[in-house]
């Protein structure tokens, strides 16, 4: 079911989630450019956590084996 135009809480949640993903990828970029291994590990862990949360909370139909992200 698609997000409805009036579902402000869901829209805010999705926008915040996407902002967190964007910030994590920015941190990954900066860490790679600065060759900051500790910062890179932290940013990768955070992005991995966000992806795991999305997978856990938002994928309802697993489909055939191997179809899950």
pLDDT in tens, 30-67: 999 999 999 999 999 999 999 999 999 888 766 555 55
Q: Supply the pTM of this predicted model.
A: 0.76
What values do phi and psi take at 67, rounded to 5? Answer: -80, -25
Mean pLDDT in residue range 12-40: 97
Mean pLDDT in residue range 19-32: 98
Helix (H, G, I), strand (E, B) or coil at 65: coil
DSSP 22-44: HHHHHHHHHHHHHT-HHHHHHHH
d(CA 47, CA 21): 6
Nearest to 31 by CA among 9, 17, 52, 46: 46
């Amino acid at each position: 079911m698609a997000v409805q135009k009036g579902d402000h809480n869901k829209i805010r949640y999705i926008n915040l989630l996407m902002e967190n993903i964007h910030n994590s990828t920015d941190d990954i970029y900066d860490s790679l450019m600065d060759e900051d291994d500790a910062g890179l590990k932290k940013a990768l862990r955070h992005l991995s956590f966000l992806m795991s949360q999305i997978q856990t909370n938002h994928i309802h139909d697993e489909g055939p084996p191997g179809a899950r992200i």
